[in-house]
Structures are given as C-alpha cells and as structure tokens.
C-alpha cells in the first residue's frame, strides 16, 4: 500500500537511500509511505512526474511525532471501557470532544477507495495514461493535464453519495454542544451534508465546496463548477480563462490554514475519538498523540492503528475494533441516542428526496 506522508518542515529526518543518508533539506516534504516496517521505521518512496524516484527507510518516526505531540506512555493496559466513555459523554463530563476521521467512515456510504491503486476508480482512469496512479492528485500533473482529476471529481462530486450513521453521530455530538472540532481526511463532503457546520469542521485534505482559479486565484463556489464537471468539461475562469480547481489539497500543496487550529484544539480537548483511519498519513497520524496525557482516546476502527498499535497506548485509551458503523452504533446504544440518530437520519433523507423532486 502506498500512502501520502507529509513531513513537518521543522523536523530533521534521515532517509537511507541506496546507501546514502539524506538528511533534513535533502528531502522533499512529500514522500509516499511504501510499507511500515516497525513502529519506528517505515519504507518510503518518492516519485516524480516521470516516474523516477527512490525508496529508502525512514527512521525516527517518533521524533517527528514529538514535533506535535509529546511522546507516548509506554504500553499500559486499558482500564476504561466503551461504557465508561459513553457515561462521560452522556453526563457531559466531555464537553470538548475532538474527532479525527478517515476514509473508513465513508466506505459504508459507498465512496470508492479512490486513493488506492488497483481500486476500480483507478482502473477507470487508465484511458488517461497517467504516468503513475497518484499523479491524479499531483499539482504539476494537473497543470499538464487536468482531465483525469475532473473525471474523478465527477464521480466524487457531492450529491452522488449520502452520509452514513457515523457522520450523523458526529452531527449529534455537535447538536448536543459537545463537539469541539472534527478533523477529516475525506474530500467527499459527507460531513457537511450531515449538517456539521463549517466552523466545526477541518477538512484537512480540502473540499469541493469551494474552488480557486489556478491563474488569478479568484474564488468560486463549488456549485459554480457543477455543470462543467457533470458535463465532463474542464471549468475555466470567467475573468482570465485560467483553469478553476476545486480546493482539494494535492500532493505538493500546503494543508489549509484551518488545519493549524489543532494547535489550540488538541490541548483543550477532553476526549479524542479516532475513527476509520489507518493513521498512516502525516501530519494526521501525529494528531492522535497531541491531546493531553490524561485525556481518553477512543479508537473505532477495523484494527489498532497509530499510538494504539505502537505500544504507546495509555491507560485511559479504549479501542472498539471491527466495522466502524457497528462500533458507532454500539456507542450510540450505550448513550441511548439511537432513536434520536434515526430520527435525524430519516429527517435528512426526507429533505434530500424533496430537494431532488424540485
Ligand atoms: Zn482567473
């Protein structure tokens, strides 16, 4: 599996490559994690547009983790349960909950695993002769040929999919006044669709809700591009004729400013919920270690990931392993929130079908 790793600028890292050790500035901020070797070492691979690249072993994963966290707590046994977490939420002991989520919360909505080579979506893109699969999200390639990206945009465009129970659960946390912020890696817009407001949402990898002209930087609303994208044409700026790109974060682009809210959010959080993510993408992965050491962390995921797997778990950590929707349902059951959740979902479904009729 290959995933994106974004290295914080401040850290010094070493990559051993063909016997050479590249340090600090010798590295680009963008590498693809090729595979994880151990908790401290990952094999990275860097590719350029011509498909050239190198791979090497990246050590000191921990040192850049410390860049935003503060270190782990040495593999202690769990002493809390899902019911304890539910009690804390129900009794409003937790009032500043931070949620980190990844692709795993959207697969039940039918969102294809579009970042993985070999998935159906990439196969569909073969006619565009991409030099390598991830080129679709490479900004240099986009300037060269934007068509494959817009073909993907058409598939993923908000409206084709509906939020699932997990998205509505987070919306309900907000309705109850207990959500400090949700940090999502997803670009499907399902969080917004579930009614989580803008100010509560950090879409770390960007959004289709807004767009920017690549030439004059003029701002557009996502719906301004709707007709072009649905018709399969590349949208052009009405002022300068430049290509308008949805505000999705490409490889080689900075994360949105909003992401840096984590600097104030995480020290304030009183509960962290991590769901549906492999926690392999930096700097997302390090966020899970950025809450205070006394704060409980709940993982709802298929497997142990990040600090839950690295042996740096804390006594107050809880892992609910298995299908994400089932895990969320279990938590909602323990909270007694299922009737409310179902009503919320039914209401939204009704609104959506009314909108379609109009
Ligand atoms: Zn323009």
pLDDT number for residue 241? 95
Token digits of residue 89: 């939420």
pLDDT digits (tens, 9 = 90+) for 182-217: 999 998 899 999 999 999 999 999 999 999 999 999
Token digits of residue 290: 């950025």
Residue 100, H or E segment: strand 97-101
- How many beta carbons lie within 10 A of that of residue 346, not counting itself? 10
pLDDT digits (tens, 9 = 90+) for 248-282: 999 888 889 999 999 999 999 999 999 998 887 77
pLDDT at 77 over 70: no
**Owner of token pair 């599996």:** 1
pLDDT number for residue 119? 60
For residue 307, which of 272, 259, 354 has the smallest C-alpha distance?
Answer: 272
pLDDT number for residue 53? 45
pLDDT at 48 over 90: no
Q: How far is CA 332 from CA 23, 108, 172, 296, in A?
A: 47, 17, 10, 18
Is 164 annotated for ligand binding?
Answer: no
Dist. CA 213 → ligand 1 center (Å): 5
pLDDT at 24 over 50: no
pLDDT number for residue 116? 55
Dist. CA 106 → ligand 1 center (Å): 33
Token digits of residue 277: 């993510």
Is 237 annotated for ligand binding?
Answer: yes
For residue 340, which of 186, 168, 90 has the smallest C-alpha distance?
Answer: 168
pLDDT number for residue 51? 36
| 3-state SS track over 242-301 | CEEEEEECCECCCCCHHHHHHHHHHHHCCEEEEECCCCCCCCHHHHCCCCCCCCEEEEEE
Cα–Cα distance for residue pair 104/27, rounded to 1 Å? 30
pLDDT number for residue 231? 93
Residues with CB under 5 A from ligand 1 (ion): 213, 215-216, 218, 237, 239-240, 242
On whether the CB atoms of residues 65 and 31 are closer than 8 A, the answer is no
pLDDT number for residue 113? 63
Dist. CA 235 → ligand 1 center (Å): 11
On whether the CB atoms of residues 24 and 7 are closer than 8 A, the answer is no
Confidence of residue 358 (pLDDT cuts 50, 70, 90): confident
As a whole-number percent, the residues of the chain with pLDDT over 70 amount to 74
Dist. CA 23 → ligand 1 center (Å): 39
pLDDT number for residue 117? 57
CA angle centred on 49, ends 46 and 54, rounded to 5°: 25
Answer yes or no: pTM beyond 0.85: no
pLDDT digits (tens, 9 = 90+) for 268-317: 999 999 999 888 777 777 888 889 989 999 999 998 888 888 766 788 89
For residue 224, which of 214, 243, 209, 239 has the smallest C-alpha distance?
Answer: 209
On whether the CB atoms of residues 269 and 287 are closer than 8 A, the answer is no
pLDDT number for residue 195? 95
Query: Catalytic amino acids?
Result: 205
Is 216 annotated for ligand binding?
Answer: yes
Is 240 annotated for ligand binding?
Answer: yes
Dist. CA 201 → ligand 1 center (Å): 27
**Residue 87 dihedral angles phi and psi, to the nearest 5°:** -60, -45
Residue 251 or 23, more confident: 251
Confidence of residue 225 (pLDDT cuts 50, 70, 90): very high
pLDDT number for residue 106? 92
Residue 285 or 339, more confident: 339
* Average pLDDT score, the chain: 79
- The end-to-end CA distance of the chain, in Å, is 43
């Amino acid at each position: 599996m290959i995933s994106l790793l974004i290295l914080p600028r401040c850290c010094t890292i070493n990559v051993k490559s063909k016997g050479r050790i590249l340090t600090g500035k010798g590295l680009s901020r963008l590498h693809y994690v090729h595979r994880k070797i151990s908790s401290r070492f990952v094999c990275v691979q860097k590719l350029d547009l011509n498909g050239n690249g190198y791979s090497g072993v990246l050590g000191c994963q921990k040192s850049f983790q410390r860049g935003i966290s503060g270190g782990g707590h040495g593999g202690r046994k769990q002493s809390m349960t899902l019911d304890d977490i539910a009690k804390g939420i129900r009794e409003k002991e937790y009032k500043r909950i931070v949620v980190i989520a990844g692709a795993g919360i959207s697969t039940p909505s039918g969102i294809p695993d579009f970042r993985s080579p070999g998935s159906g979506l990439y196969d569909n893109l073969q006619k565009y002769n991409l030099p390598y699969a991830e080129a679709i999200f490479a900004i240099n390639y986009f300037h060269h040929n934007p068509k494959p990206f817009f073909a993907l945009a058409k598939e993923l465009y908000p409206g084709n999919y509906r939020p699932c129970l997990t998205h509505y659960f987070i919306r309900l946390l907000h309705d109850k006044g207990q959500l400090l912020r949700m940090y999502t890696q997803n670009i499907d817009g399902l969080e917004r669709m579930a009614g989580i407001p803008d100010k509560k949402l950090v879409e770390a990898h960007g959004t289709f809700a807004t767009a920017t002209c690549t030439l004059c930087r003029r701002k557009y609303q996502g719906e301004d591009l709707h007709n072009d994208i649905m018709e399969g044409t590349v949208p052009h700026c009405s002022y300068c004729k430049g290509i308008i790109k949805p505000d999705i974060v490409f490889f080689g682009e900075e994360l949105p400013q909003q992401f840096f809210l984590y600097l104030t959010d995480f020290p304030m959080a009183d509960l962290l919920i991590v769901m549906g993510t492999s926690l392999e993408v930096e700097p997302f992965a390090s966020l899970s270690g950025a809450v205070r050491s006394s704060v409980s962390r709940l993982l709802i995921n298929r497997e142990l990931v990040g600090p839950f797997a690295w042996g740096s778990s804390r006594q107050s950590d809880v892992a609910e392993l298995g299908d994400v929707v089932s895990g969320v349902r279990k938590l909602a059951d323990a909270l007694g929130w299922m009737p409310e959740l179902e009503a919320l979902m039914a209401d939204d479904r009704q609104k959506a079908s009314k909108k379609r009729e109009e």
